[in-house]
Amino acid sequence: MDNPARLRSGALAPPTINRSRRMERILGRDWKVALPFVLPMILIMVGLILYPFINAIILSTTSLNFITGETVNVGFRNYERLLTNSDYLLSMQNTIQFTIWSLTVKFITGLTIALILNSRLPFRNVMTGVMLLPWIVPEIVTALAWKSIYDPIFGGLNPILQGIGIIQQPLGWLSDPNMAMPSVIAVNVWKGIPFYTMLLLAGLKAIDPELLEAAEVDGANVVKRFRHITLPGMRFVILITLLLSFISTFNSFGLIFLMTGGGPGGATRVYSILAWEKGIRSLQFGPGVAIAFSVAPLMAVLIWLLARFMRADDSRATQYRKANAVDQIMGVFGRILGMALDLVFLPIELIVLGLGKLSKVLATVVQSGDDAPVFKKSDQERMSLVLRLLVLIPIMLFVLFPFYWVVITSFKTTPQIFERSSIFWPEPWTMEQYRTLIENTPFLTWFRNTLIVAITSTVISVALAALSAYALSRLKFLGAGLLTAFLLITYLLPGSMLFIPLYQTLTDLGLINTYGALIATYPTFLLPFATWVMMGYFRSIPVDLEEAAMIDGSTRLGAFWRITLPLALPGLLAVTLIAFTNAWNEFLFAFVFITSESLRTLPVGLQSLVVGDILPWGQLMSASLLMAIPVVVLYIYAQRYLVEGLTIGGVKG
């Protein structure tokens, strides 16, 4: 008779082992370990991104019957109506105008600043820090500061322009339909300068200086070196920068809404504002979602292109693969762009050549008898430095003036503001606005709400991002590549396409107008970015350290907690800082999902201080300053970790 122990070990064990091996072959070697790491992220992405997205597609084919109060299916009629809807066509025209002009000016300005900061410059680090200031300022603070500067009666822009003779009488920068769009574009440029400067400066630093030196030895002037070495060497950085900026600029909502509300007369109503008006304010969810989703094909193409460029250098093997139709089309586009750039730089090169010949003629005419050069190398370098500073200083004044305006306005008395006495300097300095703000408004309540939501959503997002990023960068399991691609898509997916379906989902769950509405939805845009950066950081840590810990008896989770996570602390601090900043500054979701004054966050609370045409500028500026201080302090304290974390994460992610 067979031994029961032998039956258990010999007859039953092999089928179990075989089944386990089959599962590993299908689901991947580490699927059991990976599941608890990635499951929370999957639940959030499916429940709060994928499901609302699919629900939105269905919702866009419905319409509310105002007679019966029932929602009826209308197929694609909502989309068809957009083609003849004057409001929609005007909003798309405004969106395209806003995007193209903003991108063009931001790119030229950002590249100019990056080129100057990449050269030898006194106090270069200080100037670089100044140029990055607009990035950390909350969107509501940016909007209120510039709205105050633009004010035709109490603002600071009209007196400056009148004082230097550019205009003869005050202008209504945001109230004139012909001037509102350029005024908003200027603010978007101010806000976007740091993004372009950081990425383009990183691209410039990656160019081999020996190539530039060799070209200079061969006789190439500064224009030729820039056109044929610098620009081609930065092509991927430029393309990624422009694509990222196009997606965010095209889908802008908060900045424009806070400054003009889409007015005057629809002059600045972009498609995202129109979608909010239809879907939330008028409760026409179907037409509202149709407006938001009308740009989905464009966003899909842009996200696909961006993913393609970001993965272009992942493997050297891609250099030898056969070019497909897309590559051929991109190649033709690249050649056309190259010819266009040649035409643009031709007159600039001719001017440089002319100036060079003129300087040689002058040097020959006034050359001294001892054949000493008229312009020594040190003199040429000094002149070059002066020219660069003459370009950079006006841009720095443009960057710094809003900060100066917020500070001085917050320390003025109310009569001083409205009587326009001593516009550019408080006389006397007073804390009146701060006392009024704290004593007569719910500012402290809004501050508390923002702190609760920002801290909670940041902790949840960063914790889940660390777990997910570790699994995606270390473990082998089925669907890892698909999850990574989905992360990139959700990171780039505009909030303007999701806020209506999320509103309906939160309403069904009973979370609307609660802390839970924001704490649940903020990870939808915080988690993908944090995971993407942390993946790059985990890949930079040697895997041998974890394997040694597991040989000594540690579990995979133990090795992650005791070995990998402490080594990834700079990256963890970087994503925590950025996640907290984004949660602290967020306006769209807080504006749509919260209606109770006692639950408002700071961005929505500050916006509510404006009642009709009554703008308490002193309180608004003091509130803006108090809101910006926590973020500024965090960035000053953790800037070293931010740079290190984003550099490694950005390169490896």
**455-466 per-position pLDDT tens digit:** 999 999 999 999
Instruction: Report pLDDT for 205.
Output: 82
Same domain, 557 and 450: yes
How many Cβ atoms are within 10 Å of 619's Cβ, its own excluded?
Answer: 22
Same domain, 87 and 229: yes
Q: Which segment of 10-24, 331-345, 461-475 scores lowest on mean pLDDT?
A: 10-24
Same domain, 433 and 482: no
Q: Which tokens belong to 101?
A: 């002009």
Position 230 pLDDT exceeds 60: yes
Q: Which tokens belong to 303?
A: 């996200």
Same domain, 414 and 504: no
Residue 152 region, left (φ>0) first, then alpha (ψ -120 to 50), else beta?
Answer: alpha
Residue 331 makes CB contacts below 8 A (sequence gap 6+) with: 323
Position 581 pLDDT exceeds 70: yes
Closest alpha carbon to 60 in 372, 406, 347, 295: 295
Better pLDDT: 77 or 30? 77
Q: What is the mean pLDDT of the chain?
A: 81
Residue type, 190: W
Same domain, 215 and 90: yes
Same domain, 479 and 491: yes
Q: Which segment of 39-48, 324-333, 381-390, 499-508 scores lowest on mean pLDDT?
A: 324-333
Residue 475 makes CB contacts below 8 A (sequence gap 6+) with: 28, 29, 30, 33, 34, 37
Position 348 pLDDT exceeds 70: no
According to the per-residue pLDDT averaged within each range, which of 220-229, 423-432, 634-643 is highest?
423-432
For residue 327, CA distances in Å to 243, 302, 318, 332, 520 come to 17, 15, 11, 9, 41
The answer to whether the beta carbons of residues 474 and 535 sit under 8 Å apart is no
Secondary structure class of 274 (helix, strand, coil): helix
Residue 63 has φ and ψ, to the nearest 5°, of -150, 150
How many Cβ atoms are within 10 Å of 224's Cβ, its own excluded?
Answer: 17
Instruction: Report pLDDT for 314.
Output: 44
Same domain, 304 and 450: no
Is 16 inside any structural domain?
A: no
The domain boundary, picked from 288, 313, 338, lies at 313
358 — pLDDT class (breaks 50, 70, 90)? low
Instruction: Report pLDDT for 436.
Output: 92
Residue type, 447: F
According to the per-residue pLDDT averaged within each range, which of 158-167, 314-323, 488-497, 535-544 is highest?
158-167
Is 414 inside any structural domain?
A: yes
356 — pLDDT class (breaks 50, 70, 90)? low
Instruction: Report pLDDT for 350.
Output: 63
The domain boundary, picked from 256, 278, 313, lies at 313
Residue 72 has φ and ψ, to the nearest 5°, of -120, 150
Is 92 inside any structural domain?
A: yes
User: Looking up tokens 């109230």, which residue turns up?
Assistant: 175
For residue 56, CA distances in Å to 5, 66, 250, 463, 498 come to 59, 21, 20, 29, 8
Cα–Cα distance measured from residue 455 to residue 187, given in angstroms and rounded to the nearest whole number: 29
364 — pLDDT class (breaks 50, 70, 90)? low
Average pLDDT over every residue of 45-71: 83
According to the per-residue pLDDT averaged within each range, which of 84-88, 113-117, 198-202, 419-423 is highest?
84-88
DSSP one-letter string for 249-271: HHT--HHHHHHHTT-STTTT--H
Secondary structure class of 73 (helix, strand, coil): strand
Q: Which tokens belong to 93?
A: 């025209």
Average pLDDT over every residue of 544-551: 82
Domain assignment of residue 635, given as a range? 29-59+445-608+621-653
For residue 36, the domain's CATH number is 1.10.3720.10
Same domain, 195 and 96: yes
In sequence order, what are the beta bridge partners of 73? 62
Average pLDDT over every residue of 613-630: 87
Provide the CB-side half-sphere exposure for 132 (13 A, CA): 18
Same domain, 284 and 192: yes
Is 631 inside any structural domain?
A: yes
Average pLDDT over every residue of 362-374: 53
Residue 2 makes CB contacts below 8 A (sequence gap 6+) with: none
Read off the pLDDT of residues 233-282 as tens digits, 9 standing for 90 and up. Answer: 888 888 888 888 898 899 999 999 999 999 899 999 999 999 999 988 88
Q: Which segment of 138-142, 453-457, 573-577, 583-587 scores lowest on mean pLDDT?
A: 573-577
Q: Which helix (H) or strand (E) holds 529?
A: helix 523-539
Is 324 inside any structural domain?
A: no
Instruction: Report pLDDT for 27.
Output: 65
Q: Which tokens belong to 449?
A: 């709400």
Is 347 inside any structural domain?
A: no
Residue 60 has φ and ψ, to the nearest 5°, of -70, -10
447 — pLDDT class (breaks 50, 70, 90)? very high
Instruction: Report pLDDT for 330.
Output: 58
- First and final C-alpha spacing in the chain: 61
Average pLDDT over every residue of 1-7: 47
The domain boundary, picked from 394, 418, 440, lies at 440
Is 348 inside any structural domain?
A: no
Closest alpha carbon to 650 in 244, 251, 252, 334: 244
Instruction: Report pLDDT for 233.
Output: 82
For residue 552, CA distances in Å to 546, 547, 548, 556 come to 10, 9, 6, 12
Cα–Cα distance measured from residue 384 to residue 164, given in angstroms and rounded to the nearest whole number: 28
| The total number of structural domains that make up the chain | 3
For residue 3, CA distances in Å to 7, 12, 14, 103, 442 come to 6, 13, 17, 79, 79
Instruction: Report pLDDT for 319.
Output: 45
Cα–Cα distance measured from residue 240 to residue 233, given in angstroms and rounded to the nearest whole number: 13
Q: Which tokens belong to 621?
A: 């500026």
Residue type, 201: L
The answer to whether the beta carbons of residues 575 and 534 sit under 8 Å apart is yes
Closest alpha carbon to 144 in 268, 257, 273: 257
Same domain, 588 and 547: yes
The answer to whether the beta carbons of residues 264 and 176 sit under 8 Å apart is yes
Angle of CA points 639, 38, 314, to nearest 5°: 65
Cα–Cα distance measured from residue 327 to residue 598, given in angstroms and rounded to the nearest whole number: 55
Position 396 pLDDT exceeds 50: yes
Instruction: Report pLDDT for 343.
Output: 67
Secondary structure class of 72 (helix, strand, coil): strand
Secondary structure class of 85 (helix, strand, coil): coil
Cα–Cα distance measured from residue 187 to residue 101, given in angstroms and rounded to the nearest whole number: 12
- Chain centroid to CA 33: 34
Position 411 pLDDT exceeds 90: yes
Instruction: Report pLDDT for 5.
Output: 47
639 — pLDDT class (breaks 50, 70, 90)? low
Cα–Cα distance measured from residue 190 to residue 53, given in angstroms and rounded to the nearest whole number: 32
How many Cβ atoms are within 10 Å of 63's Cβ, its own excluded?
Answer: 21
Better pLDDT: 386 or 85? 85
Instruction: Report pLDDT for 457.
Output: 95
Instruction: Report pLDDT for 237.
Output: 83
Same domain, 590 and 496: yes
Cα–Cα distance measured from residue 576 to residue 462, given in angstroms and rounded to the nearest whole number: 6
Provide the CB-side half-sphere exposure for 575 (13 A, CA): 32
Residue type, 369: G
| Residue 160 burial by Cβ neighbours in a 10 Å radius (0-12, 13-18, 19+) | middle
Cα–Cα distance measured from residue 228 to residue 230, given in angstroms and rounded to the nearest whole number: 6
Question: What percent of the chain is predicted at pLDDT more than 90?
Answer: 28
User: Looking up tokens 């999850």, which residue turns up?
Assistant: 483
640 — pLDDT class (breaks 50, 70, 90)? low
Instruction: Report pLDDT for 518.
Output: 94
Q: Which segment of 12-26, 286-300, 559-573 scores lowest on mean pLDDT?
A: 12-26
Is 392 inside any structural domain?
A: no
Better pLDDT: 478 or 378? 478
How many Cβ atoms are within 10 Å of 515's Cβ, its own excluded?
Answer: 16
Same domain, 47 and 67: no
The answer to whether the beta carbons of residues 103 and 363 sit under 8 Å apart is no
642 — pLDDT class (breaks 50, 70, 90)? low
Instruction: Report pLDDT for 499.
Output: 85
| Residue 150 burial by Cβ neighbours in a 10 Å radius (0-12, 13-18, 19+) | buried
